[in-house]
A and B are shown apart, each in its own frame.
Chain A
Amino acid sequence: MALKSFTALGLILTLLVSCEKKNEINDPDSLVPKTVVEDPGLPSIEANGAKLHAQAFGPQDSTLVICIHGGPGDNYQYLLNTISLANEGYRMVYYDQVGAGLSERKPKSYYTSFGANGINNIFYDELKAVIAHYKTHPDQKVILLTQSWGSILATGYAGKYPAEIDGLILAEPGGFKWDDVITYVKASRSFNLWSELLNDATFFDQFITGKENEHAILDYKALLLSSRNDIVGDFGSILGTNKQHYPNVRDGAVISAAAYEIADKYKPDFSEGIEKFKKKILFLYSENNKAYPDSWAQKIASTLPNKQIVKINGVGHSGMFDQLNTWNNITQPLLINYLNSLR
């Protein structure tokens, strides 16, 4: 009798659900926005064998400020407050790294096939190509404005090509040596076992699973996972009332997993060669990132040769850029002073 009731209940539920029009979980734009491959109307460039979501603002021939986002697998939307530097005469360049943001997706095997050269072939060659794309004359200065993973990437690039970069703005790189990166990542994700934050990060694994290269599903999951992290003082998409309106945000789960896999296997030192970089470096860190105390900032910055260290109060990991009030009143004036000092 009980089994008959269960079956009847199952049939009713099935009929009810069947009546509604259903969405396809694998559609490229049901849960996340389309990439530049799926939507040719988005601004893009070809660089290093991939179609990248990219934009530039400001006078074409003036000093290039290349903005490099975090992750790996994040996107440049949260750096867009810095567009205001275009009004100061700089050529502001934004690009989503391959596999991240709205840039072209590649299968995981594409990235891992580079082996020990993965970081170089995926990220350094890509940055080189982006700079080459926007550079209009050989004497045009190039400054890297970076955050988190972007700062790690930029430090590695400046160490490899010290003569090609004229200024370096780093904001909370987790570490440059791989062991330091891992230490930081663990500290920044050491959620309380009983907390809502941890269960928000793990409970939905039973609702949605994606195969290795199902980008839309995996990117959606990555976005839910990274939506909030109180430890680093970021509130992800909930950035407060002073955030600009950025309607199309997408994470890159596959490039993120591949980059971690490559780095964990080959343990790169991103500070290699940075001693050859003689220009002043601006090193920023935040007050509210509990995983980035003063002692960690001093330790990580100690490998940089010529630097100015500044703590930004009142914000977390990315707040110095994505919180408009902080950007307008603290970070932007600081950056303008730094950029003027490079002239």
Chain B
Amino acid sequence: MKPLIITIIALGLFQTVKGQTINWKTIDSSKHIVTAGFAWDYSLSYSAGYGYKLNTKLPIVLSLNFTKASGENLLDDFKTKIGGQIVLLNQPTFKGIITLNGIYRRFENDLVRLQNIGSEVKGTFGYYKPKWLVACEVGFDKAILTHFKHSDTYKKDIYQNVKDGWYEPATGGNFSYGLQTGYSFKKSDITLNFGKVITQDFKTTPLIPFYLRLGYNNKFR
């Protein structure tokens, strides 16, 4: 399994999940995790996801997550993530987790439609108790390949020789760092992630230089 994970990282197709925060102290008897979230994650957005816990020595959860940006147009801007989390440091209360996700995301406005294949990697280290958790997290989100398709408006009114198609090298990359905390009861977790975002040159920031996510998990066998 290890070489497979390394292959995935080498392909650069998997990235960190800002989405799914799990209380690893309370997951032991569960196999399935359903998540929902509301966040400021580049824009105001809603997310839903599913996680499946593998029966392995080191705890691993495979996950699928869908995030939709708010706005009047239903599915013009969204992000899907597929990947997993592995607990590499698995002490009774202290845990270290690596999260890897592949991303497909889409953006459209009056001028252009962007489709991106990206990756996200995140490291989390924290203190986990049956009723609560607190952890710090550091992540990197890389927009590896982006397809640009400009509208007729762009070509007519702005720049007629614009080139559509795939663009390289990587068109973007943002680091994020922050804290996550959560409260657990019965089969549920309520989680909160918050922190800052900075672009990969460490000199500039996105228009909204922070993230904030309120999440809910329901775990079952």
Contacts and interface: CB of A to CB of B under 8 A. Distances in A.
Interface of A: 2-4, 6-7, 10-11, 13-14, 17, 20-27, 29-33, 193-212, 217, 223-225, 227-228, 236-239, 243, 245-250
B189 interface: no
A245 B156 CA distance: 7
A32 B4 CA distance: 41
Interface stretch (B29-37, B123-131, B145-153, B212-220): B145-153
A250 to B, nearest CB: 8
A250 B102 CA distance: 33
Contacts of B13: 10, 13-14
A3 B8 contact: yes
Contact of B159 (A10, A32, A227, A243): A32
Contacts, number: 195
Contact of A29 (B77, B143, B161): B161
B87 interface: no
B25 interface: no
A224 B111 contact: yes
Contacts of A247: 156-160
Given A4-B4, A194-B70, A207 B107 contact: yes
A211 B174 CA distance: 11
A272 B42 CA distance: 40
B33 to A, nearest CB: 15
A32 B13 CA distance: 29
Interface string B4-25: 1101100101100000000000
Interface string B107-136: 101111010111000000000000000000
B75 interface: no
A207 B44 contact: no
Nearest to B158: A249
Contacts of A13: 13, 117
A239 B156 CA distance: 12
Q: Counting chain B CB atoms within 10 Å of each CB, which of A6, A29, A237 scores highest?
A: A6
Nearest to B198: A209
Contacts of B72: 195-196
A24 B167 contact: yes
A237 B166 contact: no
30 contacts: A2-B52, A3-B5, A3-B62, A7-B7, A11-B11, A14-B13, A21-B165, A22-B166, A23-B166, A24-B169, A25-B168, A31-B162, A32-B159, A194-B70, A202-B208, A204-B109, A205-B42, A205-B174, A206-B116, A207-B105, A207-B143, A207-B146, A208-B114, A209-B201, A209-B204, A236-B110, A245-B157, A246-B157, A247-B156, A248-B160
